[in-house]
């Protein structure tokens, strides 16, 4: 029942875009994730990388809907001060949609964005102490919110900054995402 409702809402939002003169455009994005809040401590302030794909649906009049999927990973964080070693890796897979508002009234120039999605976080840890090794992997899926701004230089290339927030386990896993977008 819940999945059917989500599909109907997505179809209702996409219908105006599908009737637009210019059809939907496929795109890719890539960038850096600067960890914030509890995530900053969990990854030792290491910068993460993200890649993803999106579909740009022009709703006309400077409004756009952008369903997207993103994969983010942070470098492994290793501790070795206690006679052993421990390491932690974080990654996430997000599925969501962004609403974009272009100030010029057409899909170019400055825009503001807000997004909502599901983020599946994965934490992998391993430890070695006195010849004994232990490893663990945990995943959780939580709601994520994003807000940001960008600039579309031409029909193909844009740049964007977003603040994304999500709760996971017992912490807040926020990031500042800085990246480029490409539409084909």
Token duo for residue 153:
């230089």
Query: What percentage of the chain exceeds 70 in pLDDT?
Result: 87
DSSP 105: S
**Other CB atoms closer than 10 Å to residue 160's CB: what's the count?**
20
pLDDT tens-digit readout, 27-41 = 999 999 999 999 998
- pTM for the model stands at 0.80
Residue-averaged pLDDT of the chain: 88
Strand 77-79 to strand 84-102: parallel, antiparallel, or no bridges (unpaired)?
Answer: antiparallel
d(CA 10, CA 21) in angstroms, rounded, equals 20
Give the tens place of pLDDT for each residue, 59-68: 999 999 999 9
- The four Cα atoms 3, 9, 13, 15 give a dihedral, to 10 degrees, of 90
CB within 8 Å of 176: residues ≥ 6 apart = 33, 34, 36, 161, 162, 163, 164
CA distance 67 to 27: 10
For 152-168, write each residue's pLDDT tens digit: 999 999 999 999 999 98
pLDDT of residue 80: 76
Give pLDDT, residue 17.
45
Q: What is the pLDDT of residues 83-124, one digit of tens each?
A: 778 888 999 999 999 999 999 999 999 999 999 999 999 999
- What value does the mean pLDDT take over residues 62-75? 96
Distance CA 176, CA 58 (A): 26
- Domains annotated for the chain, with CATH where assigned, are 2-183 (2.40.160.20)
Task: Calculate mean pLDDT across residues 9-21.
Answer: 49
């Amino acid at each position: 029942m819940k999945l059917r409702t989500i599909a109907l809402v997505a179809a209702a939002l996409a219908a105006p875009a599908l009737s637009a003169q210019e059809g939907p455009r496929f795109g890719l994005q890539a960038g850096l994730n600067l960890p914030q809040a509890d995530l900053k401590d969990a990854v030792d302030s290491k910068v993460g990388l993200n890649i993803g794909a999106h579909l740009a649906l022009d709703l006309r009049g400077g409004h756009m809907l952008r369903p997207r999927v993103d994969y983010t990973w942070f470098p492994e964080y290793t501790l070795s001060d206690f006679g052993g070693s421990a390491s932690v890796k974080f990654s996430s897979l997000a599925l969501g949609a962004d609403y974009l508002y272009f100030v010029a009234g057409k899909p170019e120039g400055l825009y503001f964005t807000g997004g909502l999605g599901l983020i599946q976080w994965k934490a992998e840890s391993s430890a070695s102490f006195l010849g004994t090794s232990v490893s663990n992997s945990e995943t959780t899926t939580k709601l994520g919110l994003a807000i940001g701004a960008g600039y579309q230089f031409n029909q193909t290339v844009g740049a964007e900054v977003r603040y994304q927030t999500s709760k996971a386990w017992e912490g807040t896993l926020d990031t500042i995402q800085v990246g480029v977008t490409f539409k084909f």
